[in-house]
Structure 1
Amino acid sequence: MSTGMSENGTLSNVWDTKLQQFHGGQDWNHLDNFIEDFSVTTNALGTPKAALEASREAVSNFQSSQSSNQEPAKTSLAQFLWPDDYLKHKDRLLLGNGASELIDLAIRSAPSGPWKPGPWDTQYKEYQRSAEANNRTALPSKDTNRATLLCIVNPCNPTGDYFTVEELKRWIIDNVEDGGVVLVDESMQPWQLSEFRSDSLISQHEFLASIYRESNVSVYVIHSWTKIWSCAGLRVGSVVCPTAQHCDALKRIQVPWSVNGPALAFLDTVVKDHEYMERTWEVTTRWRAELIDRLMSLSKAIVDSHNDERLAWKFHGKKFLSWVWIDMKTIEIAEEAVAKAKAAGVPVRSGNPGYDRPTFVRVAVREPSKVDFLIQAWKTLGIR
């Protein structure tokens, strides 16, 4: 196996960089002094207890095979997505072994032709990986030509950019060829308070039906559920297909039983934990604002030390998101920040590997007591 680079530039054997797309969230497992993982965008509240217990209980039934129809978890998720009319839409829903499996299934089943990412500066790279693995030519994100395949992450991880649903619909119409396929990743969209459904494509049934009927454009809405419910190691995702027939076509090429029993049990339980979601919406925005305030103090100290306003950090992302995308303005300060955080047991995500943004660092929202350790690690960051 080839040797990859860890986020602070040291050698690591976690990723085969010749064959695999780099992802964050790997450093914590190699730290003797680990305190908190600020490198991943999981929920600061941690894993919901009832769902975790359901998953553990399912482990005791390993001798039994899980249901091949993904029930009752699929129906429970459908009720979460469409509380009032889930029976009308659940046949368009398919679960997968994380979003990555479903991304790959949808891209492999799309007609041949060029692909284009969302208009953001950079975005989650799994779409690029799958498109390249399927020998697709990439169009630049700002290219005005229409593409056969569009892949947009909304809200965008890591940049934090976000289209409202009307803006998103217009972007789709303006950028996809007739007969094309659109993949919209809304994994981070449910953080947008309890009204998230009304600003999501999952609520736009007439639009999805009409663009397919009139232009033969197939729009898939993908979710990774491992971030909002903090269960990244469990691997559970879903896709809402344009029609039930599209769903059947993906299922036909999907490996049977790709979602394991503990993951199905977890999902079936967690979607009913309304208290957890209410608490998520309550604290994430507040803790994120507090995190930015504390980071701004560090940025000011650097500016004052160098007497240079150009060194002031810029913070990106909508206020409801579970992370902050920070432009630290220089590669040196960004690299120092990554190294010092890791040394203190609170790793953050460098913007360099994977995203090729060497002056950027991504910091997850965490409870204030854990943020104390990060601030302490960075108290002399960039100071002369």
Structure 2
Amino acid sequence: MSATRVWDTSLQQFHGGQDWKFLDNFVEDFSVTTNALGTPQGALIAAREAVDQEPAKSSLAKFLWPVDHQSQVSRLLLGNGASELIDLVVRSAPSGSWKPGPWDAQYKEYQRSAEVNNRILLASNDKQKANLICIVNPCNPTGDYMPLPEIKNWIINNTERGGVVIVDESMQPWLSSSWRDDSLTSQQKFVSELYENSKISLYVIHSWTKLWSCTGLRLGSVVCPTMAHCNRLKKIQVPWSVNTAALAFLDAAVTDTDYMNKTWELTPIWRKEILSRLTAISDEIVKVKGEQARWSFYGREFLSWIWIDVKDADFAEQAVETARNAGVPVRSGKPGYKRPTYVRVAVRELSKVDVLIGAWMSLVKN
């Protein structure tokens, strides 16, 4: 086959240097003006190490599995944010139906990926089993959380034989210093038996940009059922998808125990105080509009956000706009999650919270 037949010149500028791919008797390529000495060996070794995502991948493995990381690291793959890994797993899954976790709203990237891959979409409350299940646990934005016995049972009861399960545990490490004990990453026996007995492949995805507050770096990981599953994903992953800055950041972040201890200590304290201040605003609204206007607050106490139903779509829009104008934007539940009366508020240091509370209290008093 000629290299000219590989290029669609209506879409791409023709570029030579491809003929060697189609030669059974290839010896040397004289069509490109590369250095005749070949690739510098030191640079080649460095590139191979970068492709293998080391030493950052091993460092993350130690963070996930402090005791037996060496036996687990072959199941771990890093990606350019969780979105890349979501796409890889969804594309590699057998075609068929897709169902989200049991929540009434869930991070939408999983549905988007299912849609673009032409899957049959089932509702979260559909009793039918699906061959691709995607669960965000803890659920963003609702704040729902299933502990291990519950989520394992839900997976078994909702997944077709031979299907694929993705559990997004991006927010799970906020649970406590013992978060690993309640993570599916600790359940290798369950994962292995699920595959051996039912041919169900269970993947656990993390977006690390939330925990370590580094969204611009694009950093995610997936724990695959087996090394073979991991290798299949590698074959369709773009090489060097994780940049060197992100790898260096990860390598350092996983060893910062003080940062994690402060996260577990302060997040629930700050969240409780923010909830108290938001409740005070709700109480003011109840005085004017009655008990039916009382806000509802959702989410477990360890999470880094609060999901709020303010019971009034117009007020929700005003609250979002007022927060933005005050320099403290919040997330509207309307455009992505189709929940026009909801807003999501992140947990933040309390001096910054004063600005948001002041802005919203002015809405109530006016």
Q: TM-score, normalised by structure 1?
A: 0.82
Q: Tell me the residue number matched to 2:89.
A: 106
Within 5 Å, which residues of 2 pair with 1:141-160?
A: 141-160=124-143
Instruction: Note the alpha carbon deviations across 1:229-265, whole angstroms, 9 max, x for none.
Output: 0000110000000000000000000000000000000
Residue 331 of structure 1 corresponds to 313
Structure 2: distance between partners of 1:351 and 1:66: 42
Question: Could you say which residue in structure 2 is the equivalent of 1:15?
Answer: none
- Taking the aligned partners of 1:292 and 1:304, their CA distance within structure 2 comes to 19
**Residues of 1 paired with 2:340 and 2:361: CA distance?**
21
SS in structure 2 at match of 1:319: coil
Which residue does 1:67 correspond to in 2?
Answer: 50
Q: Do the aligned residues in 1 keep the contact of 2:309 with 2:343 (CA within 8 Å)?
A: yes
2:265 corresponds in structure 1 to 282
Q: What's the secondary structure of 1:371's corresponding residue?
A: helix
Q: Which of these residues, 329, 348, 364, is aligned with residue 366 of structure 1?
A: 348
8 Å Cα contact 1:66/1:261 also seen in 2? no
Structure 2 partner of 1:344: 326
Amino acid of the structure 2 residue aligned with 1:205: Q
Question: More relative contact order in 1 or in 2 (CA 8 Å, sep 6+)?
Answer: 1
The amino acid that maps onto 1:349 is R
Query: Does the residue aligned with 2:204 lie in a helix, a strand or coil?
Result: strand
Structure 2 unmatched runs, 5+: 1-45
Secondary structure of 1:193's counterpart equals: coil
- Residue in 1 aligned with 2:194? 211
Partners in 1 of 2:129 and 2:228 — Cα distance? 25
Retained in 2: the 8 A contact 1:66–1:257?
no
Q: 2:286 aligns with which of 299, 303, 316?
A: 303
Distance 1:251 1:341 in 2: 43
The residue aligned with 2:182 is 199
Partner of 2:31: none
Q: CA RMSD in A?
A: 1.2
**Range that drifts further, 374-383 or 240-249:** 374-383
Matched residue, 2:117: 134
Q: Extract structure 1 runs of 4+ deviating beyond 4 A.
A: 63-66
1:380 Cα offset (Å): 2.5
**Count of aligned positions:** 321
1:103 is paired with a residue of what secondary structure? helix
1:13 aligns with none
The match for 1:241 among 199, 224, 233 is 224
Structure with larger Rg: 2
Residue number among 366, 370, 375 corresponding to 2:357 in the alignment = 375
Query: Structure 2 length normalisation: TM-score?
Result: 0.86
**As a proportion of its length, which structure holds more helix?**
2
1:224 aligns with 2:207: yes
> CA deviation digits over 1:39-87, x for unaligned, max 9?
xxxxxxxxxxxxxxxxxxxxxxxx9897111000000000000000000
Counterpart amino acid of residue 188 in structure 2: H
Counterpart of 1:181 (choices 164, 180, 185) is 164
2:256 paired residue among 265, 273, 292:
273
Same amino acid, percent of matched pairs: 63
What is the aligned partner in structure 2 of residue 315 from structure 1?
297
Q: Which residue of 1 aligns with 2:23?
A: none
Distance 2:270 2:60 in 1: 28
Displacement of 1:336: 1.0
Q: Say which SS state the counterpart of residue 119 (structure 2) adopts.
A: coil
**Counterpart for residue 165 of structure 1:** 148
User: Secondary structure of the equivalent of 2:71?
Assistant: helix
Is the CA contact (8 Å cut-off) linking 1:115 and 1:131 kept in structure 2?
yes
Is the contact made by 1:181 and 1:219 (CA closer than 8 Å) also made in structure 2?
yes
Question: Aligned equivalents of 1:129 and 1:382: distance in 2?
Answer: 37
Partner residue, 1:29: none
CA distance in 1, matches of 2:364, 2:113: 38
The 1-side partners of 2:115 and 2:49 are apart by 33
Q: Which residue of 1 aligns with 2:80?
A: 97
